[in-house]
Chain A
Amino acid sequence: MCGMTITEKILARASNRERVGAGDVVFANVDRVMVHDVSGPGVMMVLRELERKGKKVDKVWDPDRVWIAEDHFVPAVDKIAAENIVTLERMSERFGIKRHFRYGMGQYGICHTLSHEEAMVLPGEVYVGGDSHTNTTGALGCFATGMGHTDIAYVLIHGKIWFRVPETLLFRLEGSIPPYIMAKDIILKIIGDNGTDVANYKAMQFTGGAVAEMPMDERFTLTNMTTEAGAKNGIIEPDEKTIAYVRERTDRPFKVVKGDEDAEYEEVFTYEVDRLEPIVAKPYSPANIAYARELGNIEIDRAYIGSCTGAKYTDLLEAARILKGRRSKVRLEVLPASQSIYMRAMRDGLLSIFLEAGAVIGPPTCGACCGAHMGVLAKDEVCVSTTNRNFPGRMGHVESKTYLASPKVVAASAVTGRVTDPRDVG
């Protein structure tokens, strides 16, 4: 009998089993659950419907395991969005949910950034969120996955949910990361080579020297984009960096889980990252990749630095290094992923660099990444963006065009007004 992967071990523990294997269906206990201003009101609608049918819903299974983010349509973009925020307020009050990150009241931001920045989730835990990019948090070495509001409502009442234990695809990222390469280039390369459904229903696990070398912020980019390969979860086994990162943020106890030596992986992929070149995903798929240097004739109208994938502190820092002392030739937007990142960027002088480059700096929000607000695109407008999706209409008009890239490529492109390899701006 072979050993278990980290994903299998976490799900075995959570479902009170000695062992589980890929394909097993389990009802697993959930450690942490998150809703935001889209999924929270959806959950409340499901609960109201249950009450209408005569089921009493006066409490959630454990309010201390539930947390709330406000990120998609905030600050409230219109009356409906404002109502949804009021619904979240009622939800936290009614169920006694203490961890609710409110905009305009200190720390708040995009849920996937808060999940790790605020240590809402810890290594070894089972974490579900009402958002597809919940996979992000798996870089802490937890099982993190996204689902819809009916499933989240079920978790709120029962504290558990069904999972099919996923097969694991193991990605070995070897070599040293060149200074012009970021995790975004690596994950776009992986998605481009293998397709947007290579990991459907499966886990994507990352390991190797290049992962060890990455700061946590970069690891979150890898796991965030596993959603774009269809993955159920993205995961990285904890190392000293992970533990230090978590310990800086909480003294809540956790247990580090690692896979067995003889764990079974469905497939192993190896990438030598020192050979990579900066990569861009063209419209209308994250798998539609090309080298940035091949796209030098693409003129852009917008450069967007934002979202859970591309507005962490490291993302802003790398963009600022390129933009320092330069002017953007196109409309440039910067939206830090959380209030704390915003404040750190202010203290460290990054905001001055962006402002002097001509950028508009927006509040932490999902913003235009999901076409909600804060600079959505018009018909035929071309944007180079640090976000994670470029489907038709994702950032605005269905005939707008989004090129996905690393913060370095976006900053370099802003400087030249064309898709640009960061090596070509010096």
Chain B
Amino acid sequence: MRGRVHKYARDNIDTDVIIPGPYLKIMDHNELAKHAMEGLDKEFVKKVRKGDFILAGRNFGCGSSREHAPIALSYAGVSAVLALSFARIFYRNAVDGAYLLPIEVGEDAYNGIDDGDELEIDIERNEVRDLSKGRVYAMKPFPPLIKRIIDAGGLFNYTPE
């Protein structure tokens, strides 16, 4: 996976800013995508391109269980969110619905990667490569079940052993 990164250097980016409450009644994924990150950055949907990444701090996606959050990001073009940590429901929604990859990175990647950098993510080698800066960071490997669900293409395609 390759793409450009949009960096939001803050913790606790919540589901209310990822997709504000009034849009929860909307079920059309492409319509939701028009409002991705609206509570934090109104320009985001104009900037984002297919395959891009988001980089953020701790507890990304905290708050609501709204699956609209990973849906809005995914249909806006985001293929992975890199963060220091994720809120639990956002994480399982992203994986089980196969919308995008929630990738935990360390402080080195969080501090070293800048907004606009071109990244390459390799989830087999657990590496995040900053192509703009020529640096390589380790990502936290997915727990075994999570990796199997990702490889299957979401929870409904996964068969428990």
Residues of A with Cβ closer than 8 Å to B? 25, 27, 37-39, 41-42, 45-46, 50, 72-73, 77-78, 80-81, 84, 130-132, 134, 146-151, 153-154, 162, 164, 196-197, 200-201, 230, 232, 285, 370-372, 389, 391-394, 398
CA distance A281 to B58 in the complex (A): 20
Question: How many residues of B are in contact with the other chain, CB < 8 A?
Answer: 38
A80 with B59: CB separation less than 8 A: no
Cβ contacts under 8 Å, B14 to chain A: 389, 391
CA distance A327 to B12 in the complex (A): 38
CA distance A46 to B29 in the complex (A): 12
Give 23 pairs: A residue, B residue, CB < 8 Å, sorted on A: A39-B65, A39-B67, A41-B27, A46-B156, A77-B25, A81-B25, A132-B64, A132-B89, A147-B92, A148-B66, A149-B67, A151-B155, A196-B59, A197-B12, A200-B59, A230-B62, A372-B24, A391-B16, A392-B16, A393-B17, A393-B39, A394-B21, A398-B39
Task: Closest B residue to A373 by CB, please name it.
Answer: B22
B58 with A389: CB separation less than 8 A: no
Given B16, B27, B58, B143, which contacts A25 in the complex, CB threshold below 8 Å?
B143
Residues of B with Cβ closer than 8 Å to A? 12, 14, 16-17, 20-22, 24-27, 39-40, 58-59, 62-68, 70, 85, 87-89, 92-93, 96-97, 143-145, 154-156, 160
Cβ contacts under 8 Å, B87 to chain A: 197, 200, 230
A150 with B93: CB separation less than 8 A: yes
Cβ contacts under 8 Å, B25 to chain A: 37-38, 72-73, 77-78, 80-81, 84, 372
Given A39-B65, A197-B62, output 10 extra A-B contacts at Cβ < 8 Å. A37-B25, A130-B65, A147-B92, A162-B145, A200-B85, A230-B87, A230-B88, A389-B16, A391-B17, A391-B63
CA distance A25 to B160 in the complex (A): 11
A370 with B17: CB separation less than 8 A: no
Given known pairs A27-B160, A392-B17, the reply for A148 and B65 (CB within 8 Å) is yes
A151 with B63: CB separation less than 8 A: no
A393 with B20: CB separation less than 8 A: yes
A146 with B65: CB separation less than 8 A: yes
CA distance A153 to B154 in the complex (A): 13
Cβ contacts under 8 Å, A45 to chain B: 27
Given known pairs A42-B27, A72-B25, A162-B145, the reply for A146 and B89 (CB within 8 Å) is yes
Given A78, A148, A372, A392, which contacts B89 in the complex, CB threshold below 8 Å?
A148
Shortest CB–CB separation between residue B38 and chain A, in angstroms?
Answer: 8
Given A25, A41, A84, A371, which contacts B21 in the complex, CB threshold below 8 Å?
A371
Given known pairs A151-B96, A154-B155, the reply for A38 and B89 (CB within 8 Å) is no
Shortest CB–CB separation between residue B40 and chain A, in angstroms?
Answer: 8
Shortest CB–CB separation between residue B22 and chain A, in angstroms?
Answer: 6
CA distance A391 to B14 in the complex (A): 7
Task: Closest A residue to B22 by CB, please name it.
Answer: A371
A50 with B16: CB separation less than 8 A: no
Cβ contacts under 8 Å, A154 to chain B: 96, 155-156
Task: Closest B residue to A232 by CB, please name it.
Answer: B88
A201 with B88: CB separation less than 8 A: yes
B21 with A148: CB separation less than 8 A: no
Given A25, A84, A147, A370, which contacts B93 in the complex, CB threshold below 8 Å?
A147
A370 with B65: CB separation less than 8 A: no
Task: Closest B residue to A164 by CB, please name it.
Answer: B143
Cβ contacts under 8 Å, B143 to chain A: 25, 164
CA distance A201 to B144 in the complex (A): 16
Shortest CB–CB separation between residue B72 and chain A, in angstroms?
Answer: 13
Task: Closest B residue to A398 by CB, please name it.
Answer: B39
